[in-house]
Amino acid sequence: METANPYAPPRASVTDIAEERKEEHELAGAGVRLGAYLVDTVIFFLFIYVPILIGTILMATSQGDFTPAFLLIMLVGVVAWFWLTILFLARNGQTIAKKMLGIKAVRSDGSKASLGRLFWLRHVLSFVLSQTGIYFLIDVLFIFSESRQCLHDKIADTIVVVA
């Protein structure tokens, strides 16, 4: 009869790593990924910069102080973009554009990627690194590798597949 060893190291189960390889997925092509990136960029600008433009016009044409309304308009755009992005990522690993173009991000083993991995590693960290300027060019060039993984995919251990 075996008893538990009280001197053994503790064991934990990791839920973010798939125990078995999921079904094979077809990798999304570089063209459709580029298209999704461009559409997502346009959507981002619509949610963020259009409210800023509207607020700026209102401030320039008003006689009084329009600063609170300007800030509120900007905040509404930012919150709406974050809410929709997080909602789509949590549901199926897709941004708005990825949903429109029929692709999604999954873990490199084919399992579903967690919201934290998709949002923080693929989007937020990538945005912070892109402020250096050179990161964007390097990130995009990785899509032409055999694995079709951009640098942000490699960082987050994800791939983009046909949904």
Tell me how many helices (H) and strands (E) the chain has.
7, 2
Cα(138)–Cα(131) distance, integer angstroms = 13
Distance separating alpha carbons of residues 102 and 160, to the nearest angstrom:
10
pLDDT at residue 114, rounded to an integer: 93
Q: How far, in Å, CA of 2 to CA of 57, rounded? A: 76
Report pLDDT for 148. Answer: 86
pLDDT at residue number 98? 95
pLDDT the model gives residue 15: 66
The low-confidence residues of the chain, meaning pLDDT below 50, are: 20-21
Buried b (16+ CB within 10 A) or exposed e, 24-50: eeebbeeebbebbbebbeebbeebeee
Listed in order, strand segments (DSSP E) in the chain are 103-107, 158-162
SS3 of residue 157 by DSSP: coil
Predicted local confidence at residue 64, as pLDDT? 62
Task: Give me the pLDDT at residue 153, please.
Answer: 93
Q: What are 28-48's pLDDT values in tens digits? A: 998 999 899 899 989 999 998
DSSP codes joined into one string, 82-116: HHHHHHHHHHHS--HHHHHHTEEEEETTSSPPPHH
pLDDT at residue 127, as a whole number: 85
pLDDT for res 63: 66
Give the Å distances, CA to CA, from 7 to 2, 3, 11, 12, 14.
14, 12, 12, 15, 22
Q: Where are the domains of the chain?
A: 30-162
Q: What is the pTM of this model?
A: 0.74
